[in-house]
């Protein structure tokens, strides 16, 4: 089925699918490491690129390709590259687009390991990185150097919920010949389409919203330009961080319900945010759907909804946050996000533990910050759980 002109929810279910010889209603798992050639010439054609046949699963696999094409269509990109983890996606992008002596500008409040791998590993190969609050465009302009190659933003940012103007960043990138990469994990293509707003590359940890069931780890990259796509795919193949066929099958199953999961979760999130905003023990809250959010108007323009992620701080700081996390029962104390279940965690000591205390504070990741991923449970139960935990602080 050609799904290019179909609605988003139809694409979720059918984009990337193909007919197999047995008429499977869903894309089958091609759990094979290698593939048989029809002839010596066919094998030669596959290796030369004259044929699009499959060779070896690290290079390509029918189940994985179905998933890659599904997400590429959802993001309105040229093609997709599936990886074994979100960090596999991030590392593939870094490896492809950065070289010795090059410079990258990144959001300061970004997924901890995405920052850590630049500071601790790529720095060993003379790759320089500047981390700035990209929600302030002047910070980006001031950080640009002659050797800057990539502008990497995460919006909404993890875990501060700062929002960066993708269209404005694309204009800056074009003016300075930079490649704009957007981590779209917090929004998913249902709520935000960075390529439509001018980005060159979009990536996701599909562990989160796209899969949505806390049972698969994976990543995906979508590029707008064929040349950039080929460059990143080359890096992924040679680094060997390809997705497994069973992973791809599971994510294809999970993505089918993305729209209805996000709709329910963000409906819950708005009610939870309003509850927290009025609670006397909550010092502050950042949720894009609240008018108190500094970039509320930008969120209304750039996103198709406000999502289900929020961060908040408690009066009483870290100790109060610790008590809350130890006294909620429905919300699971765990890292990750975007699943059907509600999760709560403390970034300063968990996801961003590898970031120095000084850099955490500079990025707005304070010791009192609690990150909350709202699930699809009955919202009354989520609020009651928070109410109970807050009563013990």
Over the chain (393 residues), what is each successive 10-residue block's mean pLDDT? Answer: 91 93 93 96 93 93 98 98 98 98 96 94 97 97 98 95 97 98 98 98 98 97 98 97 97 98 98 98 97 97 97 90 91 94 86 75 81 97 97 93
Say which DSSP state 244 is in: P
Strand partners, 103: 128, 148
Sign of the CA dihedral 79, 85, 86, 91?
Answer: negative
Residue 304 has which token pair?
Answer: 């198709």
Q: Burial level of 12, CB count in 10 A (0-12/13-18/19+)? A: buried
**Whole-number pLDDT of residue 72:** 98
**Whole-number pLDDT of residue 325:** 87
**Whole-number pLDDT of residue 358:** 81
Among 359, 192, 360, CA closest to 288: 192
Active site residues: 58, 111, 183, 208
* Half-sphere exposure for 222 (CA within 13 Å, toward CB): 29
CA–CA gap between residue 355 and residue 357 (Å, rounded): 7
**Whole-number pLDDT of residue 322:** 84
**Whole-number pLDDT of residue 164:** 98
Q: Using a pLDDT cut of 90, give the percent of the chain over it.
A: 87
Strand partners, 152: 106, 181
């Amino acid at each position: 089925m050609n799904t290019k002109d179909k609605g988003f929810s139809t694409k979720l279910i059918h984009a990337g699918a193909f007919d197999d010889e047995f008429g499977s209603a869903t894309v089958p798992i091609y759990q094979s490491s290698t593939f048989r050639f029809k002839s010596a010439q066919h094998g030669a054609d596959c290796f030369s690129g004259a044929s699009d046949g499959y060779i070896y699963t690290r290079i390509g696999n029918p189940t994985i390709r179905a998933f890659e094409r599904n997400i590429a269509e959802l993001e309105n990109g040229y093609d997709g590259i599936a990886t074994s983890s979100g960090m596999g996606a991030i590392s593939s992008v870094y490896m492809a687009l950065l070289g010795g002596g090059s410079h990258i500008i990144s959001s300061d409040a970004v997924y901890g390991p995405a920052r850590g791998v630049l500071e601790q590993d790529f720095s060993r190969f003379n790759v320089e990185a500047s981390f700035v609050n990209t929600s302030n465009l002047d910070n980006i302009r001031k950080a640009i150097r002659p050797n800057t190659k990539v502008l990497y933003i995460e919006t909404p940012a993890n875990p501060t919920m700062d929002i960066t103007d993708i269209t404005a960043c694309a204009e800056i990138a074009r003016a300075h010949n930079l490649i704009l990469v957007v981590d779209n994990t917090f929004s998913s293509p249902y709520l935000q389409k960075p390529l439509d707003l001018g980005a060159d590359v979009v990536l996701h940890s599909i562990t989160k919203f796209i899969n949505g069931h806390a049972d698969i780890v994976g990543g995906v990259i979508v590029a707008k330009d064929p040349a950039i796509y080929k460059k990143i795919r080359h890096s992924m193949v040679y680094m060997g961080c390809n997705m497994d066929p069973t992973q791809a099958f599971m994510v294809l199953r999970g993505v089918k319900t993305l729209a209805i999961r996000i709709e329910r979760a963000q409906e819950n999130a708005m009610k939870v945010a309003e509850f927290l905003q009025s609670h006397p023990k909550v010092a502050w809250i950042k949720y894009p759907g609240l008018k108190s959010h500094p970039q509320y108007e930008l969120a209304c323009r750039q996103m198709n909804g406000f999502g289900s992620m929020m961060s908040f701080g408690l009066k009483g700081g870290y100790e109060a946050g610790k008590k809350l996390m130890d006294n909620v029962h429905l919300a699971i104390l765990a890292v990750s996000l975007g699943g059907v279940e509600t999760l709560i965690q403390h970034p300063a000591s968990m996801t961003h533990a590898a970031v120095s205390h000084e850099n955490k504070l500079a990025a707005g990741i304070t010791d009192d910050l609690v990150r909350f991923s709202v699930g699809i449970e009955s919202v009354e139960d989520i609020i009651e759980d928070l109410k109970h935990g807050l009563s013990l602080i």
